[in-house]
Amino acid sequence: MSADDQDFEAKRKLLHSADADISLRILALDSITAHDLFHVDLLALLLNPAVPVELRAEATEKSAGCPELAPILMKFLEHGTEPPEILFWALYALGSIYAGDESATDVQALVERYLEDERVVVVVPPTSGTIAQEADWARRTIEGENIDPEWMSSFRHVTP
């Protein structure tokens, strides 16, 4: 096994270790995003309710780059029983996956169910957004608008 493969396996082991510090697990997740098996790790995190919500939310956000995980994300929205952080990032991921795909009417219908959900989710402290804002962004993005999510406005810097 090459040194790169050993490094990757060590990061995966850390990622899935329930005893490891959550911050280290998130760093491990961030460090393996380019690997061919990344979607498998995301799937394992998404489907395991014993994984801390903070880590599952990170995995849900990163699912935006994995269209093969869209059916799982749609199930989250369909059932509506996941924590608000998971629903928020599922909306983000689906908006990203189906951007400009107006034929994705089933996804749009699920997204629209959350347009009145005013639960607040902390995105990156101290920045927060509501599920309704993210649902509106996802709906508009799927319809073809090229816009940033509402919460991203706090990251824009105005130069004098």
Element holding 97 (H helix, E strand):
helix 84-97
> pLDDT tens digits, residue range 31-62?
998 888 899 999 999 999 999 999 999 999 99
Q: Taking residues 102-124, report their average pLDDT.
A: 95
Average per-residue pLDDT in the chain? 92
What's the pTM?
0.91
Distance of CA 137 to the CA centre of its chain: 14
Contacts for 11 with CB less than 8 Å, ≥ 6 apart? 28, 31, 32
